[in-house]
Amino acid sequence: MPIRPAPLLPAIGLLLLAAQASPALAQTGGVTLHPAEILFKSVNSPHEDVSTVWRISGGLLLDSGRIVLGDSRGAQLFLIDIESDEVQPVGRSGEGPGEFQRIRGPRRTAMGGFFVDDFMTGRVTVFAADGSLLNTVGYNPTAFRSGPFVLRAIGVHSDGAIVFRDGEPLFSERPDGPYREEIGYVAMTADGESATIARADGMEKERRNHDGGFSSFDKPFSYSAVEAVAGDLVLVADTETGILSAWDRAGEVTTTFDFGPGEEVTREADRLWREEKIEGTSERNRALAQPQGNAPPELAALMGGLRGMGSDAEREYYRNAEGNARAPALSRILVDGDGRVWAERFALPGATTPVWQRWNPGEGRIDATIELFPNHYLLDALGDRVLLRTTDTLGGQSAVVMTVRAAR
């Protein structure tokens, strides 16, 4: 399938509105696709700025074979023609218009362009598909519940409103016991007016007091909510049920789709999960134990709090806590340049192949199951192409564009 110009994303919203379901049940049919031809590798680019990118914050497939990549370390974007190898830098490190300090994204806007969220400066910068600067919108992270470390901009609607995922503060007050975090999806208009348009149950945790402090632990195989923005709709999937809901700006659910539940947790998967969690806790504590140098007092206090979360009580919790008998249904969702919704199935520990289901709202069904390579993180898709982020053994990241095709 040849690459087509990416549609204006309000059309995606119309497809979802037309796909009314009550809820539609996920099918297991559809063709199974696998990675095929490599079309581009950033490490092979003749441009040093692209070939040496070490941390990729995000990426999108655009029209006419172009991609846009975010360099989180260099705080810069690159528009790349994967056929001619032409590279156009977009933005740069700094504090002025079109400049960034620490970016998340790029992500698509409903207008067919892209945006980045600079969470260090509290600004969302919006670009047209050709890389020209359209707008810079400032926001105050402290005006949201979650604050700057948790708040994320996840979409830009057709009227320019910014959509945020607003979670709980890093250290929220809660009684002991199990709970699910409260997640809100907030639209902020150009004049600064904000309204919550959707709510969801976030990560499943358990809070325990110990040693004069407290810790909130992830429940083994905990459920959560994953989200994406499609045009002027916010898509939220509950990983406990596998049901995706599309919310409009009025806070109404326009359609739902059922991807089905997760797998039953085997004894071996449970053992591997606990071992990985305990080891990850130990590695994090070793890193946090390093001197903070001339860190400001508030950062040093934050690091001290995080070190406390890695106590023996945390490791004891992960050894003995009761987990969910059924794994989450999904790990992530994203909306590609054609308006199809991709849902990554949750992989039990020990599984090596990422598996995605692709829901076509226009057809009201899952039209494909895509099996990707291990250590390849899906950033975007368009037509028969996928944009992937790979990580080498030293932690360096690069981008790859490949086609996906049915096995012969």
Q: pLDDT by residue (tens digit) across 121-153?
A: 899 999 999 999 999 999 998 889 888 778 999
pLDDT per position as a tens digit, 76-132: 999 999 999 999 999 888 888 888 888 999 999 999 999 999 988 899 999 999 999
| Rounded mean pLDDT, 272-277 | 92
385 pLDDT higher than 60? yes
364 pLDDT higher than 80? yes
Measured distance CA(244)–CA(333) in Å, rounded = 9
Helices (H), 218-330: 267-288, 297-308, 312-320
Q: Strands 365-371, 31-41: parallel, antiparallel or unpaired by DSSP?
A: parallel
> What's the pLDDT score for residue 296?
57
Structural domain boundaries in the chain: 10-265+326-406, 266-322
What CATH number labels 10-265+326-406? 2.120.10.30
> What's the pLDDT score for residue 147?
81
CA pseudo-torsion sign 97, 80, 353, 29: positive
DSSP string, 46-102: SSHHHHT---EEEEEE-GGGEEEEEETTTTEEEEEETTT--EEEE-EESSSTTEESS
| Rounded mean pLDDT, 2-7 | 38
pLDDT per position as a tens digit, 187-220: 999 888 999 999 999 999 888 766 555 677 889 9
> What's the pLDDT score for residue 93?
83
Among 339, 336, 356, which Cα is nearest to 347's? 356
pLDDT per position as a tens digit, 21-63: 444 444 455 799 999 999 999 999 999 999 999 899 999 999 8
Measured distance CA(205)–CA(174) in Å, rounded = 11
pTM: 0.87
